[in-house]
Structure 1
Amino acid sequence: MIHEVIVVEGRDDESAVKRAVEAETIATHGFGIRQSTFALIEKAYQNTGIIIFTDPDHAGETIRKRLSERFPNAKHAYLSKEEAKKDGDIGIENASVENIREALKKVRCTSKKAEPIFFVQDLFEYGLAGAEDAASRRDFIGRKLGIGYGNTKVFLSRLNHYGITREEFEEAWTSSIHQIPFEK
């Protein structure tokens, strides 16, 4: 059983999560989050903690950002677009039970570190920025680390704010180097 309340976007997402794990959920029902829903999320945030688990699309990232600003110590779980896609639709509700469980095993907390560990130069060195296939590499490594896909700026921020250690990054990179897809 997961002790934190999982915040998702809709009822279908709630159903998918509950098929995968035993947990309480709250649905935001999209962008127009009602005050009563914010009050429920606030109560869960204060009592048990929350895990923000939104769709890996623009709308989901916008909702995640909005929730993160209001609940800065929330935990985060991510699925890749590939893992959440079915018939052209992207959403948590389309993910397999296994992918949802795996994403929730890799939950990350935001860290308020004073000094960053990773820099833009690191992303260039590993081909995660500035390379033709950098986006697919960030997507692959983001899945391994449980921080999801992001453009260079977002990916760097997640590396530094989700407590990823240099050792953890190196291990993910080393174990993945022969599996990373390269665009042609």
Structure 2
Amino acid sequence: MLLRQSEVEKILIVEGTSDKRQVKKILNEDVEIICTNGTISLVRLDELVEELEDKDVYILVDADESGEKLRKQLKREMPNASHIYIDKMYRQVADAPLKHLSTMLLSAKIDVKVEYLE
């Protein structure tokens, strides 16, 4: 889960690898995607806060109890992060339609492939 040293300015934090795969399909810009695997230790969270202090951080987690718990934890530690919410009816980022995800990412000013907006 270490970040590679690069010029990537946008960081997207998701819960799982299936979320990461789903989002990667629609991205049209270089965004570093970090998976928490549902939970994150305080040690790893502190490391992330330090590593990401000069980056644009976006948080996209599931619309369920564990996702909201993780969102609250990240919100406390990274108050400047932008939060992207999927519609509660989809519950899981990995299960949300690509068009819906594309619209949500675009509204957060993350460039997506046009074909997923149609």
Settle same-fold status: TM greater than 0.5.
yes
Q: Who wins on radius of gyration, i.e. which is larger?
A: 1
Please identify runs of 4+ aligned residues in structure 1 that moved more than 3 A: none
Does the 8 Å contact 2:86/2:93 carry over to 1? Answer: yes
1:20 aligns with 2:23: no
2:66 corresponds to which of 59, 64, 69: 59
| TM-score (norm. length: structure 2) | 0.73
Letter in 1 for 2:11: V
Residues in 2 aligned to 1:58 and 1:68: alpha-carbon distance in whole angstroms: 15
Number of the residue aligned with 2:37: 29
Deviation of 1:98 after TM superposition, in Å, equals: 1.4
Number of the residue aligned with 1:138: none
For 1:30, what is the secondary structure of its paired residue? coil
For 1:61, what is the secondary structure of its paired residue? helix
1:94 aligns with 2:102: no
Does the 8 Å contact 2:16/2:36 carry over to 1? Answer: yes
Deviation of 1:3 after TM superposition, in Å, equals: 4.2
Percentage of identical aligned residues: 30
| TM-score (norm. length: structure 1) | 0.49
Residues in 2 aligned to 1:11 and 1:60: alpha-carbon distance in whole angstroms: 14
The C-alpha deviation readout for 1:27-78, integer Å capped at 9, x for no partner, is 11112x132354235412x122210111011111111011000000110111
Give structure 2 stretches of 5+ with no counterpart.
Answer: 1-7, 110-118
Give structure 1 stretches of 5+ with no counterpart.
Answer: 85-89, 109-184
- Higher relative helix content: 1
Instruction: Write the mapping of 1:115-130 to structure 2, written as runs, cut at 5 A.
Output: none
Instruction: Report how many aligned residue pairs link the two structures.
Output: 99
